Structure formats: C-alpha cells, structure tokens
Amino acid sequence: EPEVTQTPSHQVTQMGQEVILRCVPISNHLYFYWYRQILGQKVEFLVSFYNNEISEKSEIFDDQFSVERPDGSNFTLKIRSTKLEDSAMYFCASTSSGAGYGYTFGSGTRLTVV
C-alpha cells in the first residue's frame, strides 16, 4: 500500500536554528498538508498546498514557516528560526483529489527545540 514518508523521525535543534522537515507524499496525490501535534494536545492544521502554491494556512503558520515542493516528489516544511514552542510532532498528509478520497498521513517527525 502506498505510504507517505517523513524524514527524519526525530530532530533536536537549538532555539533560533532553521529546520527543514521532509515528506514524500504518495506519487499521484495532488493535495499536500502539514499538521502538528504538541505533546498531549490535538492535531492542528498548519497549511495546505495545491498546484504549487499554498491554498490555505492557519494562524499558526506565520512568517517563520514556509513550504515548498522543490522537485515534484518532496514536500518540505521549513521553520526559519525555531522557538521552544515549536516543539511538536509534525505530520505530513496527502490526498489524491480531495476529502472524498481520504487522507494518508506520514508517521511524523518529532521536533524538539532546546
């Protein structure tokens, strides 16, 4: 069964450093997402991406965050200057044509900012 692959599974970074989280969505999917889950809290939507541009972003997704699909297979989330409160599990997801086709999630990247 096709999978969404996320790397790395764990990342520890110092406050103020830039991090890039990587995702390889399912190859024929068209919509891509990043979500995050702070420890013990609900899963929160960050951003959706379609047709090489952001289609929606939450209030969490401020100027410190950016997304890119650099080569047609990878989908990346960059945090420019990490803060302690960015520590969370970050999930990538994709879907082929929308909600009616379901979403596939990756196994997540646990980001720890120290």
Partner 1 sequence: AQSVTQPDIHITVSEGASLELRCNYSYGATPYLFWYVQSPGQGLQLLLKYFSGDTLVQGIKGFEAEFKRSQSSFNLRKPSVHWSDAAEYFCAVALGIAAGNKLTFGGGTRVLVKP
Pick between residue 64 and residue 104 the one whose CB is nearest to partner 1.
104
In the complex, minimum distance from the CB of residue 93 to partner 1, in angstroms, rounded to a whole number: 8
In the complex, minimum distance from the CB of residue 64 to partner 1, in angstroms, rounded to a whole number: 20
Cβ neighbourhood burial of 45 (10 Å; 0-12, 13-18, 19+):
middle
Q: How far is it, in rounded angstroms, from Cα 40 to Cα 56?
A: 25
Q: Which residues bind partner 1 (CB under 8 A)?
A: 31, 33, 35, 41-45, 48, 55-56, 91, 93, 95, 98-100, 102-108
Q: How far is it, in rounded angstroms, from Cα 48 to Cα 75?
A: 11
Half-sphere exposure of 96 (CA within 13 A, CB side): 7
Pick between residue 49 and residue 113 the one whose CB is nearest to partner 1.
49
Pick between residue 3 and residue 18 the one whose CB is nearest to partner 1.
3
